[in-house]
Structure 1
Amino acid sequence: MQDYLIQIAYTPEAVATLVANPQNREEMARSLIEKLGGKLKGIWNSLGDYDLVEIATLPDNVSAAALSMAILAGGAIKISRTTPLLSLNDGMEAMEKASKLEYKPPGNF
């Protein structure tokens, strides 16, 4: 199972609908994620470029892509950004692996 940061920006029409008729979208998000075999860890409204932020655990990248496709197909979302998250231990392991690589930028052969 993989943790993902999911950032969502609504269309102006969806924002207008939510302002006129406030709705808690947590159960909808939870239902979609659970149908994919995942778990919603948390959901927040946010300020800035994105209106909603979720942390979810999903089985794999295919499930994450399916979730993104499903919510974008509904027409109320203009941007859905999904970022796989690494635990700090996984990040340390990646740093260890990177330390053994010898990358040479273009022009430095």
Structure 2
Amino acid sequence: MPKFLIQAAYTPEGTQGLLAEGASGRRAAVDQVVTGLGGTVEAMYYAFGEDDLVCIVDFPDPVSMAAVSLRVKASGALRTRATPLLTVGELDEAARREVSFRAPGA
């Protein structure tokens, strides 16, 4: 299953919701949306600094990740970034593939 790193920052409205609902309430909501699309939450951590929340999630396909991203962003409660994650084996496979590329000016 494709794995994604999610980094999120709460908006002021989202922070108010977090304060009212608590971190465990938000964890339950994340679990529900991810499992509802056939995925799993591998890890979920709260942080402070540029990001308020960091998750690693597995989804059956990138379209599922995109669907969640669209709904979360549309809520206005969070600003998010999703980064696809590759295993060591997947990167080894990518490195072995022949790619025809010419650098600009070469």
Instruction: Bin the TM-score by the shorter chain.
Output: 0.7 to 0.9
How many percent of aligned residue pairs carry the same amino acid?
Answer: 37
| Alpha-carbon distance between aligned partners in 2 of 1:51 and 1:17, rounded to the nearest angstrom | 13
Over 4 Å off, 4+ runs = none
CA distance in 2 between counterparts of 1:18 and 1:105 reads 48
Partners of 1:17 and 1:35 in 2: CA distance: 22
Aligned alpha-carbon RMSD (Å): 1.6
SS of the aligned residue for 2:45 comes to strand
Counterpart of 1:30 in structure 2 is 31
Name the larger-Rg structure.
1
Unaligned runs of 5+ in 1: none
What code does the residue aligned with 2:38 have? G
Per the alignment, residue 45 of structure 1 pairs with 46
Q: State the shift of 1:15 in Å.
A: 2.2
TM-score, normalised with respect to structure 1: 0.84
For structure 2, the 5+ residue unaligned runs are: none
The size of the alignment, in residue pairs, is 104
Q: Indicate the residue corresponding to 2:73 in structure 1.
A: 72
Q: Which residue of 2 aligns with 1:88?
A: 88
- Distance in 2 between residues matched to 1:102 and 1:47, nearest whole Å: 43
Q: Distance in 2 between matches of 1:71 and 1:29?
A: 10
**Offset at 1:9?**
1.1
Give the counterpart letter for 2:42 in structure 1. Answer: K
Distance in 2 separating the partners of 1:51 and 1:103: 39
Shift of 1:102: 4.8
TM-score normalised to structure 2 length: 0.86
